[in-house]
Structure 1
Amino acid sequence: MKTLSASRAFRELLPVLRPEWRGMLWSYVLGTASSLALAGLTVLTAWAVGHAVVERTAPGPLWWTLVLGLVLLRVVLTWREMDVSHALAYRVLARLRMALFDAYARSVPGRRREHSGRAAAVAMEDIEKLEFFYAHTIAQLGASLTLFVASLVTASVLLPEAALVMLVGAAVVASSALYWAGAARRLGEREQRERSDLSERVVDALGALREVLAYGLVPRIVAETSDATARATTLARRRELLSHLVTAIRELIITAVIIGVIATSATAAGVLSEGGPVRLSPAELPALIALALAGIAAVVDATDTLTRLHPLVSGAERVAAGIRRPAVVSVPRAPRGLPAGPLGLRFRNVSFSYEGRQPTLTSWSTALAPGEHVGLVGPSGAGKSTVIALAARLWDPSEGTVELVTAAGEGVPVAELDDAALRGAVALVDQDAMLFHGTVRDNLLRGCGPRSDGELAALLERVEAASWISLDDELGEAGVRLSGGQRARLCLARALARRPRVLLVDEVTASLDPATERLVSDVIAEFPGTVLIASHRAETLARLERVVDVAAAPLTARDTGG
C-alpha cells in the first residue's frame, strides 16, 4: 500500500509535465542505449580475455571494430544524454514552479492561513528535488530495468541455469529493498517535516527581525534553529546508515549470485564435472559472468535508487496538493469584454467568510457611480479590506455579485469578465503592497503595457518622488531601502501607470506622516476615474465625496457626507 501511495504521489504530477513526456522518453532511450553499450563493452572485453587465457588467441578485426564502435557510441550517447537530461531538468523545474505559482495565484494563500515558509519550502526545495527525479531518475530506472531484461534474455539463450540464478538473485535484491522501504520512508518523511518546520522558523525570524532584536530573542531563535537542524541532521544520518546497511546486504547478494553463475557456468563448461556434456566453452565463462554481473548490477542500481526516493514522496505529495488547490475565483467559460467609457462599482447582497471564521460580510450592498470617490469606514474586522479585495476580484463572494457599472447603469459581473481586461481596468494599491527587486522602471511597468520614460518620469513627479529617486535606481528586495511613505508613493505611481478606470486603495495612508498622507490624498483626489478607498484617517476621508460604513445594516449601508 505504501509503495502504491508513493507511486501515486509521483504520478499525480505527470499531467503537469505532459509537454515534457517526449523529452523523458528520449532521455530514457539515450540512457538505455548508453547502458547497453557499456554492458556490451564489458562482455566483449571479458570474452576477449577468456579466449586469450584459455585458447591463447588474440581478438580479430571484427572484435576491434565492435569495441571501437561501442566506445565511440558510448561517448556520443553520454554527451547527448547529459545535454538532453539537463535541458529537460530546467524545463521540468519551470513547469512545476509555474503550475504551483498558477495554483497559488488562483487560490490566494492568505485566505487559508497558510505559512509562507512552508510554501517557500515546497516551491524551492521540494520542486528542485523532484526536478532531478523526473529529468534523470525515471530514465535511469527504465534503463536499468531494460538492461536487466536484455541480460536475462541473453543469459537464458546461452545458459538457462545462469539466467535462473540471475532471476532469483534479482528477486532477493528487490525483496530486500521492499523490506527496508518502510523504515526508510518514515525517516525520510520525518526529516522532511523537520526541514519544513525549520523553513517556517527562519521565515518568521527574518520577517520579524526588528522585534527579534528589540526583545532579545536572538539566542532563543538560534538555539531553536540549531536544535531543529540537529534533529533533521540526525534523521538524515540514520537514513544514510540504513542505506549503507541495505547496500552491504545487496553486495552479499551480488557475491552469491556471481558465485552461483560461476558454478553453473563452470559445470556447463565441464570444469567442475569431468566426463559430463560440455555445453559452454571455458573461454566463454568470463563473458557470461560479466553479462550476469551487468544484469544484477542494473537491478541493484534500480533498487538502490528506489530506496533513496522515499524522502521525495512527501515532497511530491505537498507539490501535488499545492497544484490541486481549489481556486477562490472561478474561470468564466465565455469571458465578456469590458464596456467602454467610465466605470463604477456595485455590490449586490454580497456575503463572504474566511475559512473557519464567522462571515465577514452578510448580504452587503452599495454602489459607486462612475467617477465617484467613495470611502469605506468601520471598526477593525468589519470587512473594509474584504470589500476592496472582492472589488479587485482577488476572491469571489460566497453569495451575491460584484459588478462594474457603466454610465447608463448597466452592470457587468466581474466574475464574467476577461481577467486580463479586468486587471487593466481596475488597479489596487494595498497597505502591504510589495515592490519587486529591480529598478523603479521595472516596478512601474509591472502589469501594464509599454510606457515611455517621459510618462513614467511624470508619474514620479506626480507623487513627488522624482527628487529622491530615478527610474534607473535599484530598489532592493521588497523596496528595503525605502521608507513606508516612499514605498506608498511608488506603489500608487505603479497603479496609475496602468491607466485604470477604477482605483482601489486599502489603508495605504494608515501609517504615513501627515505631509505624505496629504500628498497621497491629493493624488487620489485628482484621479479622474472611480475611487474606492478603505481608511480610518480623517484627512484621507475628508477629500472624498461620500463615506460608507461597512458595519452598517445590510442592504442600507449608511452614507455620510465627506
Structure 2
Amino acid sequence: MPALDAVADTAAPKASPRALSGLWPFLAPYRGRILTALLFLLLAALATLAFPLALRGLIDQGLVASDPGERLMALRGHFLALFGVGAALGLFSAARFYAVTWLGERVSADLRNAVYSHVLRQSPEFFEHTQTGEVLSRITTDTTVVQTVVGSSLSMGLRNSVMGIGAMVMLIITNPWVMTQVLGLLVLVVLPAIYFGRRVRRLSRASQDRVADTSAIAAEVLNAVTVVQSYVQEGAETRRFAGASEAAFDTARKRTRVRSMLVAFIITATFGSMLWGLYQGTQAVIAGNISAGHLGQTVVYVILLVSSVAVLAEVWGDVLRAAGATERLMELLATRSTIAEPAAPLPLPATAGGSGLALRGIQFHYPSRPQQPALTDFDLELRPGETVALVGPSGAGKSTVLQLLLRFYQPQAGTITLDGVPIDRVSLQTLRQRIGLVPQDSVIFSANALENIRYGRPEASDEEVFAAARAAFAHDFISQLPEGYQTFLGERGVRLSGGQRQRISIARAILKNPPLLLLDEATSALDAESERAVQAALEVAMQGRSTLVIAHRLATVQRADRIVVMEHGRVVETGTHAELVAAGGLYARLAAMQFEG
C-alpha cells in the first residue's frame, strides 16, 4: 500500500474540524474579502430576523385595527415594510453569495496550485511510495470538497448560526418561559448529534481514500493501455476497477446512511420542539397573555431557530468531510523532499570546453531497497570535453549514476563534484541547468512539435528550434506532419514512432546546449538508418562539451574516449574499445555476444 494511503488509513479516526485550520495560510491573503463577505452575511441574517417584527406589526396593527380606512393605510405601510425587508434580504444575500463563492473558487485554485507545485519538487523517492493517481485524486477531488465548504457550507453555517442565535435571543426576550422549554428539548438533540457526527467524520475520510484508490488504478492502467490490450486484460482491469469502485460506493453508502440518520433525527427532534413551542404559544393567546401578532412573531422565530439547527446539521456533515479532505491535502504539503537545497548555494565556475565531473567512493542504495546496494565504492572521472561511455549488463548501476548526477537521489557515502564544486552545495536549478538529459524512454508532452523541442530552452526563437531539429535529423519528418511544427503530437507522443519521439527528445537536449550531456540509451529506439543519422548529429552536438553515454548496444560507444565497464555497482574495467576487447574481460564477452550474434 502506498505510504500516503497508509498514513491516511492510520489518521482517519483522528480527522476533526481542527484540520480546517490548515486552510488559514490560503485564506489569509483575502482577509478583506472575508470581512466583506461576513458583513453581507450579517446584514442578510439581520434582515431575516427583522421579518418577524414586521409581521407582528402587520398582524397587530394592520389586521386588528377597527377603522377600515386606518386598516387599509396600516396594511399598505406594513406591506411596504415587509417588501423593504425582502429587498434588503435579496440584495445582501446576493452580495454574500458572490463574495463567498469567489472566495471558495480562489482558495481551491490556490490550494491546487500549491499542492501541484509542491509535488513537482519532490524527489523520485516520493513516487516510489506514492501512486500518481492518489496525488491526482487529492488535487482534484479533495480540493473540490474544500471549495464546496469554503464557498458555500461555511457561509451557510455562519448565516444560520447568526439567525439561530438571533432568533433564540428574541424568543428569550419575548417568551422566556416557552424558550426555556424549547432549549431543554434542543439540548437532548445535540448529544446524539455529536455521536453521529463522529461516525460521519470517520466514514467521510474512509470514503475519500477509497475514491483515491479508483483514481490510482485508472491512472496506472490508462498510462499502460497498449500493454493491457496486448495481453487481453481489459476484462480483468475492468473488474479490478469495478471492485475498487464498489468499495468506494459501499463506504459512501455507509457514510450517507449515518448522515441521513443524523439529519432525520435532528429535523424530527427540532420539529417536535417547534410544535411544543407553538402549542405553548397558542395556550398563551387563549389565556390573553400575548397578542396574535406576538404569537405569529414567536412562530416565525421558532421556525428560524429550528431551520437554522437543521441547516447546521447538514453543514456539520460537510465540514467533517472537508476536514478529512484538508487533512489529506496538508499531508501532501507536509512532505519534504529528501533532496534539500543547500543553505548557502555555491556558484559554478564558467566553462568553455565542457564540464569536469568526478565521483569518489560512492555508496548508494535506493530507499525502497535498503539491503541491495546499487553502487559500491564507485569512482568515475569525466574531464572537460571528454566522452565517457558506461556499459555493462542490466542492473549494473549505469542509470543510477545519472540519477545521482542530477541529484534525484543522495548517495549514502562519497562525494560528487561538478567543475570542482560538490553538487550538494549547488542549487538544484543551477546544477540541472548545466546538464542535458536524453532519457531511454523519450517524453513527449501534449503539445505541438515546436513547443516540445522548445521545452529544452523556453526562451529560444523558432529558428533556434528549427536548427536543433535539423541537428537531430528531426526537421524532415516534422515538416511532413499535417501542420508541420504546429502539429499536436498527442498524449505521450502517440502520433509518432519510437524513433521520431527519440529524435525530438535529442533535439530538445541540443537546444538546451548544456556543458554536460547525459545520454541514457539515446539511440535505443532507432532503426539502423535513423541511428546512424542521429549518431552523426550527436557527435556534432557533443563537440565542445562533456558527454556521459550509457549504451547496451556497444556499436554506439566504440568511438568514446573511454569506456567504463560496470558490474554489480562497481567499475570492473576501463579503457578504449580496442583495449577492452584485447583484455578479454566482461566487455570482450559482451562485444562477442553482440557482434557475433
- TM-score, normalised by the number of residues in structure 1: 0.88
CA-to-partner distance for each residue in 1:502-544, whole Å, 9 max, x for gaps? 2222223333322333333333322232222222221222242
Q: Kindly state the Cα deviation for residue 325 of structure 1 after the two structures are TM-superposed.
A: 1.3
Q: Kindly state the Cα deviation for residue 456 of structure 1 after the two structures are TM-superposed.
A: 0.9
CA distance in 2, matches of 1:352, 1:46: 81
Any residues of structure 2 matched to 1:51-90 within 5 Å, and which?
A: 51-54=61-64, 57=71, 59=74, 63=78, 66-90=81-105
Instruction: Tell me, yes or no, if structure 1 residue 560 matches structure 2 residue 575.
Output: yes
CA distance in 2, matches of 1:70, 1:145: 20
For 1:97, the aligned partner's letter is R
Q: Which residue of 1 aligns with 2:46?
A: 36
Q: Which residue of 2 aligns with 1:307?
A: 317
Instruction: Tell me, yes or no, if structure 1 residue 424 matches structure 2 residue 438.
Output: no
CA distance in 2, matches of 1:498, 1:17: 39
Q: In structure 2, the residue corresponding to 1:505 is in which secondary structure?
A: strand
Range moving further from structure 2, 381-390 or 67-76: 67-76
Q: Which residue of 2 aligns with 1:92?
A: 107
Runs of 4+ in 1 over 6 A off after TM superposition: 1-4
Q: Which residue of 1 aligns with 2:446?
A: 437
CA distance in 2, matches of 1:366, 1:115: 34
Q: In structure 2, the residue corresponding to 1:474 is in which secondary structure?
A: coil
For 1:325, the aligned partner's letter is T
CA distance in 2, matches of 1:499, 1:170: 73
Q: Which residue of 2 aligns with 1:403?
A: 417
The answer as to whether partners of 1:37 and 1:70 remain within 8 angstroms in 2 is: yes
Q: Which residue of 1 aligns with 2:5?
A: none
CA distance in 2, matches of 1:387, 1:305: 54
CA distance in 2, matches of 1:91, 1:447: 32
Q: Which residue of 2 aligns with 1:198?
A: 214
The answer as to whether partners of 1:440 and 1:472 remain within 8 angstroms in 2 is: yes
Q: Which residue of 1 aligns with 2:255?
A: 239
Q: Kindly state the Cα deviation for residue 487 of structure 1 after the two structures are TM-superposed.
A: 1.1
Any residues of structure 2 matched to 1:217-228 within 5 Å, and which?
A: 217-228=233-244
Q: Kindly state the Cα deviation for residue 238 of structure 1 after the two structures are TM-superposed.
A: 4.0
Any residues of structure 2 matched to 1:217-296 within 5 Å, and which?
A: 217-266=233-282, 270-273=284-287, 278=289, 280-296=290-306
Q: In structure 2, the residue corresponding to 1:547 is in which secondary structure?
A: strand
The answer as to whether partners of 1:365 and 1:557 remain within 8 angstroms in 2 is: no
CA distance in 1, matches of 2:280, 2:183: 14
CA distance in 2, matches of 1:468, 1:74: 65
- Between the two proteins, the alignment pairs up a number of residues equal to 550
- How has the CA–CA distance of structure 1 residues 442 and 73 changed in structure 2, closer, same or farther, with 3 Å as cutoff? farther
- How has the CA–CA distance of structure 1 residues 212 and 248 changed in structure 2, closer, same or farther, with 3 Å as cutoff? same
Q: Which residue of 2 aligns with 1:460?
A: 469
- How has the CA–CA distance of structure 1 residues 37 and 398 changed in structure 2, closer, same or farther, with 3 Å as cutoff? farther
CA-to-partner distance for each residue in 1:164-216, whole Å, 9 max, x for gaps? 34543543443332221243334434433332222233223323322322222
From 304, 307, 326, the counterpart of 1:297: 307
From 388, 391, 401, the counterpart of 1:377: 391
- How has the CA–CA distance of structure 1 residues 443 and 511 changed in structure 2, closer, same or farther, with 3 Å as cutoff? closer
Range moving further from structure 2, 44-53 or 512-521: 44-53
- How has the CA–CA distance of structure 1 residues 221 and 264 changed in structure 2, closer, same or farther, with 3 Å as cutoff? same
Q: Which residue of 2 aligns with 1:520?
A: 534
Q: Kindly state the Cα deviation for residue 474 of structure 1 after the two structures are TM-superposed.
A: 0.8
CA distance in 2, matches of 1:14, 1:352: 41
The answer as to whether partners of 1:518 and 1:539 remain within 8 angstroms in 2 is: no
The answer as to whether partners of 2:12 and 2:205 remain within 8 angstroms in 1 is: no
Instruction: Tell me, yes or no, if structure 1 residue 137 matches structure 2 residue 153.
Output: yes
Q: In structure 1, the residue corresponding to 2:446 is in which secondary structure?
A: coil
Q: Which residue of 2 aligns with 1:408?
A: none
Q: In structure 2, the residue corresponding to 1:397 is in which secondary structure?
A: coil
CA-to-partner distance for each residue in 1:436-457, whole Å, 9 max, x for gaps? 1121222223263422111111
The answer as to whether partners of 1:376 and 1:547 remain within 8 angstroms in 2 is: yes
CA distance in 1, matches of 2:34, 2:392: 57
Instruction: Tell me, yes or no, if structure 1 residue 164 matches structure 2 residue 176.
Output: no
Q: Kindly state the Cα deviation for residue 376 of structure 1 after the two structures are TM-superposed.
A: 1.9
CA-to-partner distance for each residue in 1:242-289, whole Å, 9 max, x for gaps? 33333222222222221233244445xx42446xxx4x4432221122
CA distance in 2, matches of 1:160, 1:524: 90
From 496, 513, 517, the counterpart of 1:499: 513
Percent of paired sites with the same residue: 26
Instruction: Tell me, yes or no, if structure 1 residue 346 matches structure 2 residue 358.
Output: yes
The answer as to whether partners of 1:370 and 1:529 remain within 8 angstroms in 2 is: yes
The answer as to whether partners of 2:397 and 2:569 remain within 8 angstroms in 1 is: no
- How has the CA–CA distance of structure 1 residues 193 and 419 changed in structure 2, closer, same or farther, with 3 Å as cutoff? closer
- How has the CA–CA distance of structure 1 residues 4 and 463 changed in structure 2, closer, same or farther, with 3 Å as cutoff? closer
Q: Which residue of 2 aligns with 1:392?
A: 406
CA distance in 2, matches of 1:557, 1:62: 101
CA distance in 1, matches of 2:485, 2:185: 69
Structure 1: stretches of 5+ with no match in the other structure: 406-410
The answer as to whether partners of 2:392 and 2:565 remain within 8 angstroms in 1 is: yes
Range moving further from structure 2, 207-216 or 27-36: 27-36
Q: Which residue of 2 aligns with 1:509?
A: 523
CA-to-partner distance for each residue in 1:348-378, whole Å, 9 max, x for gaps? 3333322231332234332212222222223
Q: Kindly state the Cα deviation for residue 481 of structure 1 after the two structures are TM-superposed.
A: 0.9
Q: Kindly state the Cα deviation for residue 63 of structure 1 after the two structures are TM-superposed.
A: 4.7
CA distance in 2, matches of 1:170, 1:338: 71
- How has the CA–CA distance of structure 1 residues 460 and 113 changed in structure 2, closer, same or farther, with 3 Å as cutoff? same
- How has the CA–CA distance of structure 1 residues 283 and 108 changed in structure 2, closer, same or farther, with 3 Å as cutoff? same
Q: In structure 2, the residue corresponding to 1:468 is in which secondary structure?
A: helix
CA-to-partner distance for each residue in 1:389-434, whole Å, 9 max, x for gaps? 22122233333333220xxxxx222233234333332222222342
For 2:334, the aligned partner's letter is R
Q: Which residue of 2 aligns with 1:117?
A: 133
CA-to-partner distance for each residue in 1:125-164, whole Å, 9 max, x for gaps? 2222222223333333233223322222333232333443
The answer as to whether partners of 2:348 and 2:426 remain within 8 angstroms in 1 is: yes
For 2:46, the aligned partner's letter is L
CA distance in 1, matches of 2:77, 2:171: 22
Q: Kindly state the Cα deviation for residue 71 of structure 1 after the two structures are TM-superposed.
A: 3.3
Q: Kindly state the Cα deviation for residue 21 of structure 1 after the two structures are TM-superposed.
A: 4.9
Q: Kindly state the Cα deviation for residue 77 of structure 1 after the two structures are TM-superposed.
A: 2.8
Q: Which residue of 1 aligns with 2:3?
A: none
Range moving further from structure 2, 446-455 or 70-79: 70-79
Range moving further from structure 2, 462-471 or 60-69: 60-69
- How has the CA–CA distance of structure 1 residues 452 and 264 changed in structure 2, closer, same or farther, with 3 Å as cutoff? same
Q: Kindly state the Cα deviation for residue 219 of structure 1 after the two structures are TM-superposed.
A: 2.2
- TM-score, normalised by the number of residues in structure 2: 0.83
For the aligned residues, what is the CA RMSD? 3.0
The answer as to whether partners of 1:424 and 1:448 remain within 8 angstroms in 2 is: no
For 1:431, the aligned partner's letter is Q
CA distance in 2, matches of 1:553, 1:238: 52
Range moving further from structure 2, 36-45 or 540-549: 36-45
The answer as to whether partners of 1:100 and 1:123 remain within 8 angstroms in 2 is: yes
Q: In structure 2, the residue corresponding to 1:221 is in which secondary structure?
A: helix
Instruction: Tell me, yes or no, if structure 1 residue 151 matches structure 2 residue 163.
Output: no
From 219, 223, 247, the counterpart of 1:207: 223
Range moving further from structure 2, 471-480 or 430-439: 430-439
For 1:522, the aligned partner's letter is A
Q: In structure 2, the residue corresponding to 1:346 is in which secondary structure?
A: strand
The structure richer in helix per residue is 2
Structure 2: stretches of 5+ with no match in the other structure: 1-10, 479-483, 578-597
CA-to-partner distance for each residue in 1:54-111, whole Å, 9 max, x for gaps? 5575657775565444434333333333333333233222222222223322323555
Q: Which residue of 1 aligns with 2:20?
A: 10
